[in-house]
Amino acid sequence: MAALPIVLIVAIADNGVIGDDNRLIWRLKTDLRRFRSLTLGRPVVMGRKTFLSIGKPLPGRETIVLTRDPGFRPEGVHVAHSLEEALATGQRIGVGMGADSVTVAGGADVYRQALPLSDRLELTLVHATPDGDAVFPEWDRSAFVADGRESHPRSLDDEHPFTFATFRRRA
Ligand SMILES: NC(=O)c1ccc[n+]([C@@H]2O[C@H](COP(=O)([O-])OP(=O)(O)OC[C@H]3O[C@@H](n4cnc5c(N)ncnc54)[C@H](OP(=O)(O)O)[C@@H]3O)[C@@H](O)[C@H]2O)c1
């Protein structure tokens, strides 16, 4: 059976910042809705710090948390001790739940490792320049082809304008 595609999902400010002090730094309800629809019914791989910042397993999804700490075993999630193990668990669980992809939801450390393995990037380009200590890594744009953009203005729900942008890895 063909492997499920790996889909990396991230919201990135114009200056590359994705978070600060282990938390999100904007209120974008439309982006949260998109994150939910891209991840619902699928395995979601994330680092231990991002998991702690969310604080609980994501409902309707299978959360796979990466840590090197053998004692870290929170309830309701799968724990993996290497990216390889996390993605293999994601494939196994994803096939079992009839998912169309294995998703990767950060943070910076996990994105850096998962980027070379990702088949599709679902970016939210947030048009703001916040301060932050977590930055999205440099990525090889020539390895991907743009496949759709959708601009959204600032609104009562969304404190910054932003653009959804999809990139697919070149064949
Ligand atoms: N804007 C967005 O879309 C978005 C999305 C997600 C997160 N974020 C932000 O990103 C920031 C967190 O990112 P981060 O880079 O600090 O942390 P992170 O990637 O969430 O977690 C890093 C931790 O994951 C574990 N880990 C990573 N690679 C591993 C591997 N290969 N094998 C085993 N364990 C591994 C380690 O846990 P141990 O230390 O336990 O060993 C490591 O300390 C926060 O500010 C958060 O808000 C933003």
Domains, the chain, ordered by start: 6-169 (3.40.430.10)
Instruction: Band the pLDDT of 1: cuts 50, 70, 90.
Output: low
| Ligand 1 centroid to residue 167 C-alpha, Å | 22
Q: Is the pTM of this model over 0.95?
A: yes
Q: pLDDT tens digits, residue range 141-161?
A: 999 999 999 999 999 999 999
- DSSP SS3 for 96: helix
159-162: long-range contacts at Cβ-Cβ below 8 A with a sequence spacing of 24 or more?
159/26, 159/27, 159/28, 160/26, 160/28, 160/126, 160/127, 160/128, 161/127, 162/11, 162/28, 162/30, 162/31, 162/124, 162/125, 162/126, 162/127
| Ligand 1 centroid to residue 127 C-alpha, Å | 23
Which of 10, 12, 14, 18 should be mutated for ligand 1, with most atoms under 8 A from CB? Answer: 18
pLDDT at 4: 98
Radius of gyration of the chain (CA): 15
Average pLDDT over residues 129-149: 97
Q: pLDDT tens digits, residue range 46-102?
A: 999 999 999 999 999 999 999 999 999 999 999 999 999 999 999 999 999 999 999
Residue 164 burial by Cβ neighbours in a 10 Å radius (0-12, 13-18, 19+): middle
Average pLDDT over residues 115-134: 98
Q: What angle do CA 24, 157, 101 make, to 5 degrees?
A: 60
- Ligand 1 pocket, Cβ-based, cut-off 6 angstroms: 10-11, 18-20, 22-24, 46-50, 53, 66-69, 72, 81-83, 105-110, 113, 134
Which of 8, 49, 64 should be mutated for ligand 1, with most atoms under 8 A from CB? Answer: 49
Percentage of the chain modeled with pLDDT above 90: 98
pLDDT at 2: 73
pLDDT at 126: 98
